[in-house]
Amino acid sequence: METTTLSATTLLVKMAEMTVVKSTEKNPIRLKTTLGSCVGLILSDAKAGVHGLAHIMLPNQTGRDEVVGKYADTAIPALLDELKRKGCRKENVEAFLVGGARMFESGAGIGDIGKRNVEETTRILGELGIPIVFDDAGGTAGRTIVFDGTTREVSVKTLKKLSYTKRS
C-alpha cells in the first residue's frame, strides 16, 4: 500500500501585510513571518479551518497612511472581517500573539514600541471578546514564526541577538 505525503504550502507574510487562508488536510497551508518589535497576530477558527496572520508594525494608525495591515487598530478588525468572508464565525475565533520585542535601547519612545504593540493588540482583542490562547511576546530578541493551519501548531524560533566589536 502506498502512502502519499502532502507537502504544506508556506505563505510568507511581510511587514504590514495580512493574509487569510483556508487550510485543509488536502490543501495544507502554513503562514510564516519574522518579527522584531512588530506583532504577529494569528486569528484562527479551527471549526471552519480559516486562519489569518497580520504583521503589525505600530499600535495606532496616524495621519493618512492607508496601509491597513500596518496598525493594530486597523489590522485586527480588517483581519476579522476577511476571516468572516471566508466562512469563520467570530465566536470560534482564537488568537495567537507573538513578537513585540524590545529591539532598541533608547528611552520611552521607539524603545518601547514592541511593548506598545502588544498592549494595543491585547486591548483590541479584549474589546472584541477574542481569547488569546498562545502568547510569546516581549523579550529582547526577534522571532520567526510558522503557523500550521491544519494542526494549529505554532513554531517559534527565537533569533540570536548579534553584537559587534569595533576593530582597531
Catalytic residue among 13, 16, 18, 38: 38
Beta bridge partners of 50: 22, 45
Q: Which residues pair with 143 in a beta bridge?
A: 35, 158
The HSE-up count of residue 109 (CA atoms within 13 Å, CB side) is 2
Q: Is 146 helix (H, G, I), strand (E, B) or coil?
A: strand
70: cell is 500596518
In whole angstroms, give the CA distance from residue 41 to residue 132: 10
Of the candidates 148, 144, 135, 56, which has an alpha carbon nearest to the alpha carbon of residue 95?
135
38 noted as active-site residue: yes
The CA radius of gyration of the chain, in Å to the nearest whole number, is 17
Grid cell locating 36: 522584531
Just list the catalytic residues: 38
